Amino acid sequence: MPRFINPFSDWGFKKIFGQEINKDLLIKFLNDLLDGEHHIEDLTFKDKEQLPELKSMRGIIFDVYCTTDKGEHFIVEMQNRYQPYFTDRSIYYASRTIVNQGIKGTVETEYGKREVWNYLLAPVYTICLLNYGIDELTPTKFRTDVALMDMKEKTIFSNRVRLIYLMLPLFDKKTEAECETDFERWIYILKNMSTF
């Protein structure tokens, strides 16, 4: 029986990263994950559940849904068991977060008042910590980063959607001494925490 918290249970993950009292842990983890791309100074925990548009649709529940002080959005999702169509599901989550940014307002035009939508979007990052491998991703790679890309030029087309999949069974560092970065130490600890 494990002596320490299991970060791969919903309860364990929320206890570590999903509470205001541990907010600094999530900020540090995300800064190490996104090293060189962004520096998060603050975040807030928002409603973790979004209701479906129709009663017949399934609701979306985020383990941690947060925004930076610059208005960037991050969804941190923890999965402990395989789910069919997981990559489709993660794209759906990111899409809902983008759509929910829409700010409707009314402007006066020569034809009368008109409702408009502000299309300036903050980036949305979906970070999936997976305790299993996903067949449609590279089956031998621990980290897969997905972005909107120009296929011919192989350059980023837009930074508005980013999906990061971390498949912990494929993390191959066996001891803490093998870890070279703070981020690798995070993953080593998360992967082995319940057996320490």
The continuous run of DSSP H or E covering 190 comes out as: helix 182-192
Q: Pick the residue with more confidence: 112 or 24?
A: 24
* Domain annotation covers residue 4: no
Residues 148 and 125: beta-carbon distance below 8 Å:
no
- Residue 174, pLDDT above cutoff 70: yes
Q: Rounded to whole angstroms, how far apart are CA atoms 74 and 69?
A: 12
* Domain annotation covers residue 135: yes
Predicted confidence at residue 142, as pLDDT, reads 92
Question: Residue by residue, what is the 3-state secondary structure of 18-32?
Answer: CCHHHHHHHHHHHHH
Residues 139-159 pLDDT 10s: 788 999 999 999 999 999 998
* Domain annotation covers residue 3: no
Q: Residue 92 has which token pair?
A: 């759906």
* Domain annotation covers residue 16: yes
Q: Residue 56 has which token pair?
A: 């017949």
Confidence grade of residue 78 (pLDDT, cut at 50, 70, 90): low
Mean per-residue pLDDT, 83-92: 85
* Domain annotation covers residue 1: no
Range of weakest confidence among 66-70, 167-171, 177-181: 66-70
* Domain annotation covers residue 2: no
Predicted confidence at residue 175, as pLDDT, reads 93
Residues 96-123 pLDDT 10s: 888 877 777 777 778 888 777 777 788 8
Q: Report how many domains make up the chain.
A: 1
- Residue 51, pLDDT above cutoff 60: no
* Domain annotation covers residue 128: yes
- Of the candidates 102, 39, 105, 49, the one whose C-alpha atom is nearest the C-alpha of residue 72 is 39
Q: Rounded to whole angstroms, how far apart are CA atoms 113 and 115?
A: 7
Q: Rounded to whole angstroms, how far apart are CA atoms 18 and 47?
A: 11
Predicted confidence at residue 130, as pLDDT, reads 85
* Domain annotation covers residue 92: yes
Which structural domain range is residue 158 located in?
10-195
Predicted confidence at residue 95, as pLDDT, reads 87
